[in-house]
Chains A and B, each alone.
Chain A
Amino acid sequence: MSAGGSGAAAEAIPQNNIIAFGVLGGLIGIYGAYFLVGMVGQYMSFIGALGAICGMVWGAAAVRRVASYGLGTGVPSIGMLALGMGVIAATFGLAVGGIAGPVIALVTAAIIGLMIGVLANKVLSMGIPIMEVSMTEIATAGTITIIGLAIAMTGTFDFPVVLSQVISTGYIAVIFIAGGLAILHPFNACLGPDETQDRTLMVGVEKGAIAMIVSGIVATTNPNASGALTILIGIALWYVAFSGFYDRTKRDAYDVVGAGMLPSKEELE
């Protein structure tokens, strides 16, 4: 799967706004869920998944930017890299950080991402001008995704709980892959010369909602998190996002037909 063209992608929403949206939305979601579960009740755990969705949309936007330059290999590789870095940083941050865990995890992820970006350009000579920035963004977005979904599953980011409820049970695998695909799939799914930013990001929201539903399924086993509410909000969000995506598809596509023949020769010229 070779993918991507060459050159910068057109952006309706500037990347800096998306970065702010991802970092702030992610952190607010993570800490909001953490405190509100303690103060209001376990059914607030869904906010963690909303934070994760901010991270995923940011990640999808960053993947879109960097993959537009052509990586020489498939878009999926960068998503796997994001979550590979993210899972290491998230586990480390939560394990050592206590209440500051998510922030430490983000900083660690940013360092790993920056390092890989620098290595990619300096040692591997990939020559992609935004590689350093993008790798930092992608690693951080991956970390937000992982922590946010983990909170949606358990209602907290206290490491002993996360360790026994998410990591030892293997649910981290589904966070890894559902989060990773939510980051890499939007651009991969909309790849092509007439790709548009809002349509791609809408897929990001839609895939984020699916990750939210899955984390809600896991949350049903956990007394400190509310599965039902997370699943319901996830399904509603999925419906809204999918409709939004479908509307944008109809707007962007050459033609949407129920059934029909191929375009005729005259049409193609």
Chain B
Amino acid sequence: MIDIAGILMQNILYVILITLGGVLISWSVHFVPVGGAPAAMAQATGIGTGTVQLAAGAGLTGLVTAGAMMEITSSAALVIAAGAVGAMIMMAVTMIVGTWVYVYGVGCPPASAKVKYDPITKDRQDLYVSQGTEGHGLPTVSFVSGVIGGALGGIGGSLVYYALMSVENGLPLADLVGIASVFAVGIFFVNAVIPSYNIGGTIEGFHDPKFKRFPKAVLASLIATFFCALIGVLAIGGL
């Protein structure tokens, strides 16, 4: 049987880092402007897909870049920054192409229905919302919010991966990469789903009134990830 207390004491820092990573992922999902199914019909502001899927797409892209970076550097900050950049690029590219489709394919300008003026550009929004919709496309504030969300998600995912890779253990590198990446993916999905239940479908970004709900999801993620971090560290540290 493994020495539970010993492993935990030795790796308490990594438990905390993993929990922090999970909380960041949970928080990041609130920044990502997703309009869910209505946005696919240009019926709501944001990207036309589900929260979990988009956050996972961005976060896992970040995980891929962070994994590559982890091979060649020992700098934690660089690994985490690489993860953030990978996720930010994925999110920004997705949103810019989304804007192409809304503007050139559907013929409607980006507009938010939740605020009258864009908090960043101060542009009037309500006049550009077409009849019978809750806004459409990605106004600047949503775009910036999405980039922030991508960055936080990438940071969170790579932080979890970095911490799991750093736990004291006796595994060969290939096995360690395998188990750490699988745990990171698992923790990522748990923390992407929790906030999506909190948001309940659609959110426009940090200017959306629903954004204020984030402490609930962050709290839930904190508890859930802490438990996952404990068993993750125990599993890897015991080997």
Contacts and interface: CB of A to CB of B under 8 A. Distances in A.
- A–B interface present (Cβ within 8 A): yes
Interface residues of A, number: 43
Nearest to A175: B182
A45 B233 CA distance: 30
Contact of A172 (B182, B188, B199, B224): B182
A102 to B, nearest CB: 15
Interface stretch (B84-92, B100-108, B121-129, B170-178): B170-178
Interface residues of B, number: 47
A119 B178 contact: no
B187 interface: yes
B219 A123 contact: yes
B186 A167 contact: no
B105 to A, nearest CB: 21
Interface stretch (B111-119, B135-143, B190-198): B190-198
Interface in B173-224: 174-175, 177-179, 182-183, 185-190, 192-194, 196-201, 216-217, 219-220, 223-224
Contact of A2 (B36, B199, B220): B36
A95 B239 contact: yes
Interface stretch (B50-58, B61-69, B74-82, B147-155): B50-58
Contacts of A168: 174-175, 177-179
B47 interface: no
B37 interface: yes
Given A91-B182, A116-B224, A164 B175 contact: yes
Nearest to A139: B190
A110 to B, nearest CB: 12
B13 interface: no
A240 interface: no
A119 B194 contact: yes
A170 B183 CA distance: 12
Nearest to B239: A95
A95 to B, nearest CB: 4
A119 B56 CA distance: 21
A169 interface: yes
Contacts of A95: 234-236, 238-239
A124 interface: yes
Interface string B23-45: 00000000000001100000000
A83 interface: yes
A71 B223 contact: no
A77 B200 CA distance: 12
A246 to B, nearest CB: 29
Nearest to A97: B1
A96 to B, nearest CB: 6
Contacts of A25: none
Contacts of A73: 36, 50-52, 196-197, 199-201
A163 B52 contact: no
A71 B197 contact: yes
B31 to A, nearest CB: 17
Nearest to A91: B235
Interface string A144-182: 000000000000000100011001111011001000000
A112 B224 contact: yes
A84 B190 contact: yes
A176 B178 CA distance: 13
Interface of B: 1-2, 36-37, 50-53, 56, 171, 174-175, 177-179, 182-183, 185-190, 192-194, 196-201, 216-217, 219-220, 223-224, 227-228, 231-232, 234-236, 238-239
17 contacts: A1-B50, A73-B51, A76-B53, A77-B196, A80-B189, A84-B185, A84-B189, A87-B182, A87-B183, A88-B232, A89-B231, A91-B232, A108-B231, A116-B194, A124-B194, A126-B197, A159-B239
Given A2-B37, A108-B231, 16 more contacts: A1-B50, A72-B197, A72-B199, A72-B200, A77-B197, A81-B189, A87-B186, A88-B190, A88-B232, A115-B227, A119-B224, A120-B220, A124-B216, A163-B175, A167-B175, A176-B185
